Chain A
Amino acid sequence: MALETSVIQKKLIENFGLKVSDFFQQHDIFTFEVASDSIVEVMKFLRDDATLRFNFLTDLCGIHYPDYEKERQFAVVYHMHNWMDNVRIRIKCYLDGDKPEIDSVTGLFLSSNWQERETYDFYGIIFKGHPQLKRILNMDEMTSFPLRKEFPMEDSGRTDKDDRFFGRTSQNC
Protein backbone atom coordinates (compact mmCIF):
# COMPACT_ATOMS: atom_id res chain seq x y z
CA MET A 1 0.00 0.00 0.00
CA ALA A 2 1.62 3.09 -1.20
CA LEU A 3 -0.59 5.57 0.56
CA GLU A 4 -0.27 5.30 4.33
CA THR A 5 -3.27 6.13 6.45
CA SER A 6 -1.08 8.38 8.58
CA VAL A 7 -0.51 10.52 5.49
CA ILE A 8 -4.23 10.86 4.94
CA GLN A 9 -4.75 11.80 8.55
CA LYS A 10 -1.93 14.33 8.56
CA LYS A 11 -3.02 16.00 5.35
CA LEU A 12 -6.61 16.26 6.49
CA ILE A 13 -5.73 17.70 9.88
CA GLU A 14 -3.36 20.21 8.26
CA ASN A 15 -6.09 21.45 5.98
CA PHE A 16 -9.23 21.12 8.03
CA GLY A 17 -8.12 21.10 11.64
CA LEU A 18 -10.94 20.24 13.98
CA LYS A 19 -13.43 19.60 11.23
CA VAL A 20 -12.05 16.08 10.89
CA SER A 21 -11.75 13.80 13.87
CA ASP A 22 -11.95 10.29 15.31
CA PHE A 23 -9.53 8.62 12.98
CA PHE A 24 -9.23 4.89 13.35
CA GLN A 25 -8.66 1.76 11.36
CA GLN A 26 -11.66 -0.55 11.32
CA HIS A 27 -10.88 -3.89 9.74
CA ASP A 28 -9.50 -2.99 6.34
CA ILE A 29 -10.97 0.49 6.09
CA PHE A 30 -9.64 3.72 7.53
CA THR A 31 -12.52 5.59 9.11
CA PHE A 32 -12.97 9.14 10.28
CA GLU A 33 -15.59 11.71 11.08
CA VAL A 34 -16.16 14.97 9.26
CA ALA A 35 -18.22 17.90 10.50
CA SER A 36 -21.38 17.97 8.45
CA ASP A 37 -20.92 21.55 7.27
CA SER A 38 -17.61 20.87 5.53
CA ILE A 39 -18.23 17.57 3.80
CA VAL A 40 -18.09 19.03 0.31
CA GLU A 41 -14.73 20.72 0.89
CA VAL A 42 -13.25 17.64 2.47
CA MET A 43 -14.41 15.36 -0.30
CA LYS A 44 -13.25 17.77 -2.96
CA PHE A 45 -9.86 17.87 -1.29
CA LEU A 46 -9.71 14.09 -1.04
CA ARG A 47 -10.58 13.77 -4.68
CA ASP A 48 -8.36 16.47 -6.13
CA ASP A 49 -5.26 16.36 -3.94
CA ALA A 50 -2.26 15.03 -5.84
CA THR A 51 -1.31 12.46 -3.23
CA LEU A 52 -4.70 11.45 -1.88
CA ARG A 53 -6.52 10.91 -5.19
CA PHE A 54 -9.71 9.35 -3.90
CA ASN A 55 -11.27 9.24 -7.32
CA PHE A 56 -14.26 7.02 -6.72
CA LEU A 57 -17.31 7.37 -4.50
CA THR A 58 -18.14 3.76 -3.83
CA ASP A 59 -21.13 4.10 -1.64
CA LEU A 60 -23.29 6.56 0.21
CA CYS A 61 -25.88 5.66 2.80
CA GLY A 62 -27.63 6.86 5.91
CA ILE A 63 -27.90 5.46 9.40
CA HIS A 64 -30.34 6.26 12.16
CA TYR A 65 -29.17 6.22 15.79
CA PRO A 66 -32.25 7.15 17.83
CA ASP A 67 -30.45 6.37 21.10
CA TYR A 68 -27.61 8.85 20.60
CA GLU A 69 -27.65 12.44 21.77
CA LYS A 70 -29.70 14.73 19.62
CA GLU A 71 -26.87 16.20 17.53
CA ARG A 72 -25.75 12.77 16.43
CA GLN A 73 -28.97 10.92 15.70
CA PHE A 74 -28.42 10.57 11.97
CA ALA A 75 -25.30 9.73 10.07
CA VAL A 76 -24.41 9.80 6.42
CA VAL A 77 -21.63 7.42 5.51
CA TYR A 78 -19.47 7.83 2.44
CA HIS A 79 -17.10 5.17 1.19
CA MET A 80 -14.36 6.46 -1.06
CA HIS A 81 -11.76 4.52 -2.95
CA ASN A 82 -8.41 5.49 -4.36
CA TRP A 83 -7.90 3.23 -7.35
CA MET A 84 -4.30 4.21 -7.97
CA ASP A 85 -3.03 3.19 -4.52
CA ASN A 86 -5.97 0.93 -3.75
CA VAL A 87 -6.97 2.50 -0.46
CA ARG A 88 -10.49 2.73 0.86
CA ILE A 89 -11.76 5.21 3.41
CA ARG A 90 -15.02 5.63 5.21
CA ILE A 91 -16.29 9.09 6.12
CA LYS A 92 -19.02 9.60 8.65
CA CYS A 93 -21.03 12.75 9.14
CA TYR A 94 -23.34 12.95 12.10
CA LEU A 95 -26.45 15.06 11.75
CA ASP A 96 -29.00 16.60 14.03
CA GLY A 97 -31.96 14.41 14.98
CA ASP A 98 -34.60 17.08 14.43
CA LYS A 99 -33.19 18.75 11.39
CA PRO A 100 -30.97 16.36 9.45
CA GLU A 101 -29.37 18.47 6.76
CA ILE A 102 -26.14 18.15 4.87
CA ASP A 103 -24.67 19.59 1.69
CA SER A 104 -25.09 17.53 -1.42
CA VAL A 105 -21.99 16.16 -3.12
CA THR A 106 -23.67 15.80 -6.50
CA GLY A 107 -21.32 18.49 -7.81
CA LEU A 108 -18.35 16.21 -7.17
CA PHE A 109 -19.64 12.79 -8.09
CA LEU A 110 -22.52 12.20 -10.48
CA SER A 111 -23.18 8.85 -8.84
CA SER A 112 -24.23 10.47 -5.60
CA ASN A 113 -27.40 11.84 -7.18
CA TRP A 114 -29.63 8.82 -6.77
CA GLN A 115 -27.86 7.59 -3.68
CA GLU A 116 -28.69 10.85 -1.94
CA ARG A 117 -32.25 10.61 -3.14
CA GLU A 118 -32.42 7.10 -1.73
CA THR A 119 -31.04 8.30 1.59
CA TYR A 120 -33.61 11.07 1.63
CA ASP A 121 -36.32 8.56 0.81
CA PHE A 122 -35.30 6.23 3.61
CA TYR A 123 -34.34 8.68 6.35
CA GLY A 124 -35.61 12.11 5.40
CA ILE A 125 -32.10 13.54 5.40
CA ILE A 126 -32.13 16.77 3.39
CA PHE A 127 -29.25 17.18 0.96
CA LYS A 128 -28.90 20.89 0.38
CA GLY A 129 -28.17 21.82 -3.21
CA HIS A 130 -29.36 18.54 -4.66
CA PRO A 131 -30.83 19.12 -8.15
CA GLN A 132 -33.93 16.99 -7.66
CA LEU A 133 -34.43 15.84 -4.11
CA LYS A 134 -37.56 13.74 -4.13
CA ARG A 135 -38.45 10.18 -3.28
CA ILE A 136 -36.97 7.57 -5.54
CA LEU A 137 -37.99 4.10 -4.43
CA ASN A 138 -41.20 4.76 -2.57
CA MET A 139 -44.31 6.45 -3.73
CA ASP A 140 -44.34 10.23 -3.68
CA GLU A 141 -47.42 10.21 -1.49
CA MET A 142 -45.68 8.38 1.33
CA THR A 143 -45.27 10.43 4.49
CA SER A 144 -43.07 8.23 6.64
CA PHE A 145 -39.33 7.67 6.28
CA PRO A 146 -39.37 3.90 6.46
CA LEU A 147 -35.83 3.08 7.54
CA ARG A 148 -35.95 5.23 10.63
CA LYS A 149 -36.05 2.91 13.57
CA GLU A 150 -39.43 4.09 14.83
CA PHE A 151 -41.26 2.91 11.72
CA PRO A 152 -42.24 -0.74 11.62
CA MET A 153 -41.13 -3.09 8.89
CA GLU A 154 -44.57 -4.45 8.25
CA ASP A 155 -47.30 -2.45 6.70
CA SER A 156 -49.43 -1.17 9.58
CA GLY A 157 -52.58 -1.10 7.51
CA ARG A 158 -52.60 -4.80 6.80
CA THR A 159 -55.85 -6.67 6.97
CA ASP A 160 -54.95 -9.89 5.23
CA LYS A 161 -52.91 -11.62 7.88
CA ASP A 162 -54.56 -12.69 11.08
CA ASP A 163 -52.33 -11.71 13.97
CA ARG A 164 -53.45 -14.72 16.01
CA PHE A 165 -51.73 -17.05 13.58
CA PHE A 166 -48.44 -15.26 13.97
CA GLY A 167 -48.29 -15.51 17.73
CA ARG A 168 -49.31 -11.90 18.12
CA THR A 169 -52.30 -11.47 20.35
CA SER A 170 -53.34 -8.42 22.24
CA GLN A 171 -51.79 -9.91 25.38
CA ASN A 172 -48.30 -10.37 24.08
CA CYS A 173 -47.72 -7.27 22.04
Chain B
Amino acid sequence: MFEGYSWAELGSIFAMQGFAGLSLFSVLVLMALGLAIIFGQMGVINMAHGEFMILGAYVTYLCSNFFAENLPALFSGYFLIAMLLAFLASASLGALVEWGLIRHLYKRPLDTLLATWGLSLILQQVYRSVFGAREVGVTLPDWLMGSFAVTDMIEIPINGVFVMFLTLGITAGVWLWNFRSSWGTQMRAVVQNRVMAGAVGIDTERIDRLTFAIGCGIAGIAGSAFTMIGSTGPTSGQLYIVDTFLVVVFGGAQSLLGTIFSAFAISQSQSTMEFFLSGSMAKVLTLLTVVTILMIRPQGLMSLRVRA
Protein backbone atom coordinates (compact mmCIF):
# COMPACT_ATOMS: atom_id res chain seq x y z
CA MET B 1 0.00 0.00 0.00
CA PHE B 2 3.00 2.31 0.22
CA GLU B 3 4.22 2.22 -3.36
CA GLY B 4 4.35 5.60 -5.02
CA TYR B 5 4.95 7.61 -1.85
CA SER B 6 8.15 9.41 -1.01
CA TRP B 7 10.06 8.71 2.20
CA ALA B 8 9.20 12.15 3.46
CA GLU B 9 5.50 11.46 3.02
CA LEU B 10 5.72 8.09 4.70
CA GLY B 11 7.76 9.53 7.55
CA SER B 12 5.19 12.23 8.21
CA ILE B 13 2.31 9.79 8.08
CA PHE B 14 4.00 7.53 10.59
CA ALA B 15 4.67 10.51 12.83
CA MET B 16 1.02 11.50 12.58
CA GLN B 17 -0.03 7.93 13.18
CA GLY B 18 2.17 7.78 16.28
CA PHE B 19 0.43 10.88 17.50
CA ALA B 20 -2.98 9.37 16.73
CA GLY B 21 -2.05 6.38 18.89
CA LEU B 22 -0.89 8.59 21.76
CA SER B 23 -4.00 10.68 21.48
CA LEU B 24 -6.23 7.59 21.63
CA PHE B 25 -4.15 6.42 24.59
CA SER B 26 -4.80 9.59 26.55
CA VAL B 27 -8.52 9.48 25.68
CA LEU B 28 -8.77 5.89 26.93
CA VAL B 29 -6.88 6.68 30.14
CA LEU B 30 -9.06 9.68 30.81
CA MET B 31 -12.21 7.61 30.23
CA ALA B 32 -11.05 4.74 32.37
CA LEU B 33 -9.44 6.48 35.35
CA GLY B 34 -12.70 7.26 37.09
CA LEU B 35 -14.00 3.77 36.54
CA ALA B 36 -10.70 2.24 37.62
CA ILE B 37 -11.19 3.93 40.96
CA ILE B 38 -14.84 2.95 41.35
CA PHE B 39 -14.75 -0.52 39.84
CA GLY B 40 -11.13 -1.38 40.55
CA GLN B 41 -10.80 -0.05 44.04
CA MET B 42 -14.36 -0.34 45.35
CA GLY B 43 -15.63 -3.25 43.29
CA VAL B 44 -18.73 -1.37 42.19
CA ILE B 45 -19.73 -2.14 38.60
CA ASN B 46 -20.92 1.33 37.66
CA MET B 47 -22.88 1.04 34.43
CA ALA B 48 -23.84 4.71 34.72
CA HIS B 49 -20.22 5.81 34.29
CA GLY B 50 -20.95 7.12 30.79
CA GLU B 51 -23.85 9.20 32.09
CA PHE B 52 -21.59 10.82 34.69
CA MET B 53 -19.29 11.73 31.81
CA ILE B 54 -22.15 13.23 29.85
CA LEU B 55 -23.21 15.26 32.88
CA GLY B 56 -19.77 16.87 32.62
CA ALA B 57 -20.32 17.44 28.91
CA TYR B 58 -23.67 19.13 29.53
CA VAL B 59 -22.14 21.33 32.23
CA THR B 60 -19.56 22.39 29.65
CA TYR B 61 -22.35 23.12 27.19
CA LEU B 62 -24.20 25.27 29.73
CA CYS B 63 -20.96 27.09 30.57
CA SER B 64 -20.19 27.82 26.94
CA ASN B 65 -23.70 29.26 26.48
CA PHE B 66 -23.46 31.28 29.67
CA PHE B 67 -20.11 32.78 28.75
CA ALA B 68 -21.11 33.45 25.16
CA GLU B 69 -24.17 35.40 26.33
CA ASN B 70 -23.01 37.11 29.50
CA LEU B 71 -19.24 37.31 29.49
CA PRO B 72 -18.10 37.18 25.88
CA ALA B 73 -14.80 38.82 26.87
CA LEU B 74 -13.85 35.82 28.97
CA PHE B 75 -15.08 33.23 26.48
CA SER B 76 -11.61 32.01 25.60
CA GLY B 77 -11.06 30.90 29.18
CA TYR B 78 -14.41 29.28 29.83
CA PHE B 79 -13.24 25.76 29.17
CA LEU B 80 -11.09 25.58 32.28
CA ILE B 81 -13.92 26.82 34.49
CA ALA B 82 -16.28 24.42 32.76
CA MET B 83 -14.02 21.50 33.60
CA LEU B 84 -13.88 22.50 37.24
CA LEU B 85 -17.68 22.81 37.39
CA ALA B 86 -18.05 19.51 35.54
CA PHE B 87 -15.91 17.86 38.18
CA LEU B 88 -17.98 19.38 40.99
CA ALA B 89 -21.32 18.51 39.39
CA SER B 90 -20.45 14.89 38.65
CA ALA B 91 -18.77 14.43 42.04
CA SER B 92 -21.80 15.80 43.92
CA LEU B 93 -24.15 13.60 41.94
CA GLY B 94 -21.78 10.70 42.62
CA ALA B 95 -21.85 11.37 46.36
CA LEU B 96 -25.63 11.55 46.28
CA VAL B 97 -25.93 8.29 44.34
CA GLU B 98 -23.51 6.58 46.71
CA TRP B 99 -25.56 7.72 49.69
CA GLY B 100 -28.94 6.89 48.21
CA LEU B 101 -28.18 3.73 46.25
CA ILE B 102 -24.73 2.20 46.18
CA ARG B 103 -23.99 1.97 49.91
CA HIS B 104 -26.94 -0.35 50.39
CA LEU B 105 -25.51 -2.72 47.81
CA TYR B 106 -21.85 -3.15 48.79
CA LYS B 107 -22.54 -6.69 49.92
CA ARG B 108 -24.33 -7.51 46.68
CA PRO B 109 -21.93 -6.49 43.89
CA LEU B 110 -23.98 -8.00 41.06
CA ASP B 111 -27.03 -6.00 42.13
CA THR B 112 -25.05 -2.80 41.72
CA LEU B 113 -24.78 -3.73 38.06
CA LEU B 114 -28.56 -3.72 37.68
CA ALA B 115 -29.08 -0.73 39.91
CA THR B 116 -26.52 1.43 38.10
CA TRP B 117 -27.83 0.29 34.74
CA GLY B 118 -31.26 1.48 35.81
CA LEU B 119 -29.67 4.68 36.99
CA SER B 120 -28.06 5.16 33.58
CA LEU B 121 -31.48 4.82 31.89
CA ILE B 122 -33.01 7.30 34.31
CA LEU B 123 -30.21 9.80 33.77
CA GLN B 124 -30.49 9.45 29.98
CA GLN B 125 -34.18 10.23 30.12
CA VAL B 126 -33.55 13.16 32.45
CA TYR B 127 -31.01 14.61 29.99
CA ARG B 128 -33.51 14.05 27.20
CA SER B 129 -36.26 15.87 29.07
CA VAL B 130 -34.05 18.75 30.15
CA PHE B 131 -31.81 19.30 27.13
CA GLY B 132 -33.94 17.73 24.41
CA ALA B 133 -33.37 14.56 22.46
CA ARG B 134 -31.09 16.19 19.92
CA GLU B 135 -27.35 16.43 20.36
CA VAL B 136 -26.16 19.86 21.39
CA GLY B 137 -23.21 21.65 19.86
CA VAL B 138 -20.56 22.93 22.24
CA THR B 139 -18.69 25.92 20.84
CA LEU B 140 -14.98 25.76 21.52
CA PRO B 141 -12.80 28.79 22.14
CA ASP B 142 -10.58 29.51 19.14
CA TRP B 143 -7.36 28.49 20.82
CA LEU B 144 -8.57 24.91 21.14
CA MET B 145 -9.48 24.55 17.45
CA GLY B 146 -7.34 23.67 14.49
CA SER B 147 -3.80 22.33 14.43
CA PHE B 148 -0.12 23.23 14.57
CA ALA B 149 1.48 22.70 11.22
CA VAL B 150 4.90 21.25 12.04
CA THR B 151 5.66 20.60 8.36
CA ASP B 152 3.41 20.58 5.29
CA MET B 153 2.27 17.08 6.06
CA ILE B 154 2.52 16.86 9.83
CA GLU B 155 -0.33 18.66 11.51
CA ILE B 156 -0.87 18.15 15.21
CA PRO B 157 -4.43 18.72 16.49
CA ILE B 158 -4.38 21.22 19.33
CA ASN B 159 -7.23 19.59 21.20
CA GLY B 160 -5.38 16.26 21.04
CA VAL B 161 -2.39 17.86 22.74
CA PHE B 162 -4.72 19.46 25.28
CA VAL B 163 -6.33 16.11 26.15
CA MET B 164 -2.86 14.60 26.52
CA PHE B 165 -1.71 17.19 29.02
CA LEU B 166 -5.01 16.99 30.85
CA THR B 167 -4.65 13.23 31.14
CA LEU B 168 -1.10 13.60 32.41
CA GLY B 169 -2.23 16.13 35.00
CA ILE B 170 -5.16 14.08 36.23
CA THR B 171 -3.19 10.86 36.34
CA ALA B 172 -0.54 12.61 38.40
CA GLY B 173 -3.28 14.01 40.65
CA VAL B 174 -4.87 10.59 41.14
CA TRP B 175 -1.49 9.07 41.88
CA LEU B 176 -0.68 11.73 44.46
CA TRP B 177 -4.08 11.37 46.06
CA ASN B 178 -3.86 7.61 46.12
CA PHE B 179 -0.32 7.16 47.35
CA ARG B 180 0.72 10.43 49.01
CA SER B 181 -2.35 11.61 50.91
CA SER B 182 -3.88 10.24 54.08
CA TRP B 183 -7.23 9.89 52.29
CA GLY B 184 -5.54 7.69 49.72
CA THR B 185 -3.90 5.58 52.39
CA GLN B 186 -7.23 5.17 54.13
CA MET B 187 -8.94 4.30 50.89
CA ARG B 188 -6.40 1.61 50.12
CA ALA B 189 -6.77 0.28 53.61
CA VAL B 190 -10.54 0.02 53.20
CA VAL B 191 -10.13 -1.74 49.85
CA GLN B 192 -7.73 -4.30 51.27
CA ASN B 193 -9.55 -5.07 54.49
CA ARG B 194 -12.71 -3.23 55.33
CA VAL B 195 -13.21 -4.71 58.80
CA MET B 196 -9.66 -4.05 59.95
CA ALA B 197 -9.76 -0.56 58.50
CA GLY B 198 -12.89 0.13 60.51
CA ALA B 199 -11.29 -1.35 63.59
CA VAL B 200 -8.32 1.01 63.45
CA GLY B 201 -10.66 3.98 63.37
CA ILE B 202 -11.11 4.75 59.68
CA ASP B 203 -14.59 6.04 58.88
CA THR B 204 -15.16 3.54 56.07
CA GLU B 205 -18.52 4.99 55.01
CA ARG B 206 -17.03 8.41 54.53
CA ILE B 207 -14.10 6.99 52.57
CA ASP B 208 -16.48 5.05 50.34
CA ARG B 209 -18.51 8.13 49.58
CA LEU B 210 -15.42 10.21 48.88
CA THR B 211 -13.88 7.59 46.62
CA PHE B 212 -17.06 7.16 44.63
CA ALA B 213 -17.48 10.91 44.30
CA ILE B 214 -13.93 11.40 43.08
CA GLY B 215 -14.31 8.61 40.54
CA CYS B 216 -17.49 10.24 39.22
CA GLY B 217 -15.87 13.67 39.27
CA ILE B 218 -13.04 12.44 37.06
CA ALA B 219 -15.65 11.02 34.71
CA GLY B 220 -17.18 14.51 34.63
CA ILE B 221 -13.84 16.05 33.62
CA ALA B 222 -13.42 13.40 30.94
CA GLY B 223 -16.88 14.17 29.60
CA SER B 224 -16.08 17.84 29.56
CA ALA B 225 -12.86 17.24 27.61
CA PHE B 226 -14.63 14.94 25.14
CA THR B 227 -16.92 17.72 23.98
CA MET B 228 -13.87 18.67 21.88
CA ILE B 229 -13.72 15.37 20.03
CA GLY B 230 -17.12 13.74 20.35
CA SER B 231 -20.84 14.30 20.59
CA THR B 232 -22.92 15.60 23.49
CA GLY B 233 -26.34 14.00 23.61
CA PRO B 234 -28.50 12.08 26.09
CA THR B 235 -27.10 8.73 24.98
CA SER B 236 -23.54 9.74 24.11
CA GLY B 237 -22.30 8.16 27.34
CA GLN B 238 -23.12 4.77 25.88
CA LEU B 239 -20.46 5.33 23.22
CA TYR B 240 -17.72 5.21 25.83
CA ILE B 241 -18.91 2.65 28.34
CA VAL B 242 -17.75 -0.50 26.52
CA ASP B 243 -14.24 0.77 25.84
CA THR B 244 -13.99 2.00 29.42
CA PHE B 245 -14.80 -1.37 30.93
CA LEU B 246 -12.54 -3.06 28.40
CA VAL B 247 -9.58 -0.97 29.49
CA VAL B 248 -10.20 -1.43 33.21
CA VAL B 249 -10.86 -5.18 33.07
CA PHE B 250 -7.97 -5.83 30.71
CA GLY B 251 -5.61 -3.85 32.91
CA GLY B 252 -6.45 -5.84 36.00
CA ALA B 253 -9.28 -4.45 38.02
CA GLN B 254 -7.38 -3.42 41.10
CA SER B 255 -4.38 -1.76 39.58
CA LEU B 256 -4.28 1.85 38.40
CA LEU B 257 -0.95 1.18 36.71
CA GLY B 258 -2.56 -1.78 34.96
CA THR B 259 -5.26 0.52 33.61
CA ILE B 260 -2.59 2.72 32.09
CA PHE B 261 -0.71 -0.19 30.54
CA SER B 262 -3.91 -1.64 29.19
CA ALA B 263 -4.98 1.69 27.68
CA PHE B 264 -1.58 1.91 26.02
CA ALA B 265 -1.72 -1.61 24.61
CA ILE B 266 -5.28 -1.25 23.36
CA SER B 267 -4.79 2.19 21.85
CA GLN B 268 -1.59 1.30 20.01
CA SER B 269 -2.91 -1.94 18.57
CA GLN B 270 -6.26 -0.34 17.70
CA SER B 271 -4.79 2.67 15.90
CA THR B 272 -2.11 0.63 14.09
CA MET B 273 -4.66 -1.93 12.91
CA GLU B 274 -7.10 0.80 11.90
CA PHE B 275 -4.38 2.18 9.69
CA PHE B 276 -3.56 -1.08 7.96
CA LEU B 277 -7.03 -2.66 8.02
CA SER B 278 -10.49 -1.13 8.17
CA GLY B 279 -12.18 0.24 11.27
CA SER B 280 -14.57 -2.61 11.96
CA MET B 281 -11.87 -5.22 11.40
CA ALA B 282 -9.50 -3.43 13.77
CA LYS B 283 -12.15 -3.44 16.46
CA VAL B 284 -12.85 -7.14 15.99
CA LEU B 285 -9.16 -8.04 16.20
CA THR B 286 -8.62 -5.85 19.26
CA LEU B 287 -11.52 -7.48 21.08
CA LEU B 288 -10.36 -10.97 20.07
CA THR B 289 -6.86 -10.29 21.39
CA VAL B 290 -8.20 -8.95 24.66
CA VAL B 291 -10.52 -11.93 25.10
CA THR B 292 -7.69 -14.37 24.40
CA ILE B 293 -5.35 -12.69 26.85
CA LEU B 294 -8.05 -12.60 29.51
CA MET B 295 -8.66 -16.32 29.02
CA ILE B 296 -5.03 -17.04 29.69
CA ARG B 297 -4.71 -14.43 32.39
CA PRO B 298 -8.13 -13.81 33.98
CA GLN B 299 -6.82 -11.35 36.54
CA GLY B 300 -5.81 -8.93 33.78
CA LEU B 301 -2.42 -7.46 32.94
CA MET B 302 -1.49 -6.38 36.45
CA SER B 303 -2.92 -7.66 39.67
CA LEU B 304 -2.65 -6.52 43.23
CA ARG B 305 -0.67 -8.97 45.30
CA VAL B 306 -1.89 -9.42 48.84
CA ARG B 307 -1.31 -12.19 51.29
CA ALA B 308 -4.22 -14.56 51.20
A is bound by B: no
Which chain A residues have a beta carbon within 8 Å of chain B's beta carbons? Answer: none
